[in-house]
Structures are given as structure tokens and as C-alpha cells.
């Protein structure tokens, strides 16, 4: 009887096995963290540090509101999460895309390892987007609309 590809790779390739275990553990860890945060919000919120950039300058940084956005996502309120920090939601979507791509690359035959390639053009583009978002979210029209 022919052995399945997945069973063969799990039995013979140590790196594949480790990747498979990590890929399987990520959703379990995220679900556990969501449950802990959902039911322990009153204890966790005081432990979250304040934004250093906002404390020092009074301006919102690109990640200001990410904690509230995460809490809103865990509560199931997607629109409120976007309200708190839309760039953070885009970032989480990108992370989910990378995770799904990794999971698919582990299951597809023949096995093709998933690799991230660093590209200067994309890195600069992301930096410009983050900087532009930081500037735009501190302008009066954005604050009047969102705050």
C-alpha cells in the first residue's frame, strides 16, 4: 500500500516535522490567548504599557490603538477594530495570508519550502505607507472623523 505524502514527510524529514508542528500550534496558541484576553480583560488592560511616542510627543504613532483593535477583534466587533487602527487590521490580514501560504506549502505535493525574500523596494514602500499613515492620522480631519 502506498504511503501518503504527508505521512512520509512527517516520518522522514525533521525540518518538515518541526514546520508542521509549529504550523499546527499557531492557531491553538492564538485561540488560547484570545480566550485568556477575552475573559481576563479587566486584569490585563492595566498591565498593557502606554504608548511611549504618544506619551512623549502627544501624537499618535502608526500602532496606536492596536491593543483596543485586538480587543475589539476578540469581542467580534470588526468595524470597531478598523476604527481603532485600520493599518493594524491590514497587517493582521497580511500575517494571516503568510500563515495560510505556509500551511498550504506544507500540504502541497511535491514539498516546496516556504521562504520569505527580503526586497528593498517593498520594505521602503511599507515604510512610506507607515510614515504616511502616522502623519495622516494626526491631521485634524482624520481626528475629527475617527476621534
- Encode the chain (147 residues) as per-residue pLDDT tens digits: 455 656 666 666 677 777 777 788 888 988 898 888 888 777 777 887 888 888 898 888 888 888 889 888 888 889 999 988 999 999 999 989 888 887 877 776 655 666 677 889 989 999 999 999 989 888 888 767 766
26 within 8 A of 34, measured Cβ to Cβ? no
**Angle CA(84)–CA(69)–CA(145) in degrees, nearest 5?**
10
Q: What is the pTM of this model?
A: 0.74
Contact predicate 80/72, CB 8 Å: yes
What is the Cα–Cα distance from 81 to 91, expressed in whole angstroms?
12
Contact 116, 94 (CB under 8 A): no
Which is nearest to 70 in space by CA: 97, 91, 99? 91
Domain that holds residue 67: 5-146
Strand runs (DSSP E) across 49-99, as ranges? none
The DSSP output letter for 119 is -
pLDDT of residue 124: 94
Amino acid at each position: 500500500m502506498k504511503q501518503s505524502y504527508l505521512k512520509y514527510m512527517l516520518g522522514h524529514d525533521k525540518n518538515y516535522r518541526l514546520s508542521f508542528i509549529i504550523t499546527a500550534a499557531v492557531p491553538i496558541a492564538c485561540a488560547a490567548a484570545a480566550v485568556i484576553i477575552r475573559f481576563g480583560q479587566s486584569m490585563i488592560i492595566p498591565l498593557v504599557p502606554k504608548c511611549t511616542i504618544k506619551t512623549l510627543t502627544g501624537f499618535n504613532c502608526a500602532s496606536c490603538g492596536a491593543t483596543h483593535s485586538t480587543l475589539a477583534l476578540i469581542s467580534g466587533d470588526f468595524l470597531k477594530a478598523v476604527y481603532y487602527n485600520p493599518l493594524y487590521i491590514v497587517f493582521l490580514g497580511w500575517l494571516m495570508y503568510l500563515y495560510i501560504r505556509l500551511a498550504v506549502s506544507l500540504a502541497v505535493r511535491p514539498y516546496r519550502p516556504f521562504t520569505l525574500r527580503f526586497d528593498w523596494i517593498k520594505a521602503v514602500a511599507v515604510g512610506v505607507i507607515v510614515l504616511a499613515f502616522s502623519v495622516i492620522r494626526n491631521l485634524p480631519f482624520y481626528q475629527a472623523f475617527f476621534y
